[in-house]
Amino acid sequence: MDKDIKVGIISDTHGLLREEVKNILQECDYIVHGGDINKQMIIDELKKIAPLYVVRGNNDKEWAEHLPNDLRFKLAGVRFYMVHDKKIIPKDLNDVDVIVFGHSHKYYEDVKDGVLWLNPGSCGRRRFDQSISMAVMTIGSGAWKIEKIELNPEMK
């Protein structure tokens, strides 16, 4: 692979695609959205920025019936599995390097048995007093690294 690729990982936009988030995603080669999009307009806007991988969240109702509940895909040799709610991840999941999920609005990053479990948090409307966050994964030379991005705490 000649150059590193960047993957913008977001979830729980709930109908709000912030300018700050769009600016970060502009620097990415791919976008991964862990569900609770709430509006087709968000998907359309994200697709204009970079190729998009997306799953349906519990708040994505009739308009989102065409979206998968879970998704497997590969980027630069890294095998992903994505679902909105961590509770429905299969117990016997194998052949994946990264599991992306959303739903809780809380950032979570942990490596278990060599697999990265990642919830980028929520970069949509603030919920309770939780931070507004997302992640950018850089993949290169067969390895990856995660950058957690917390947006301005004064944002609504």
**CA 84 to CA 112: how far, in whole Å?**
19
Model confidence pLDDT, tens digit, residues 79-117: 999 999 999 998 888 899 999 999 999 999 999 999 999
Domains of the chain: 5-150 (3.60.21.10)
Provide the pLDDT for residue 31.
98
Provide the pLDDT for residue 66.
95
Model confidence pLDDT, tens digit, residues 54-87: 999 999 999 999 999 999 999 999 999 999 999 9
Among residues 83, 75, 142, the alpha carbon closest in space to that of 118 is found at: 83
- Residue 112's Cβ-count burial label (10 Å; 0-12, 13-18, 19+) is exposed
Provide the pLDDT for residue 155.
57
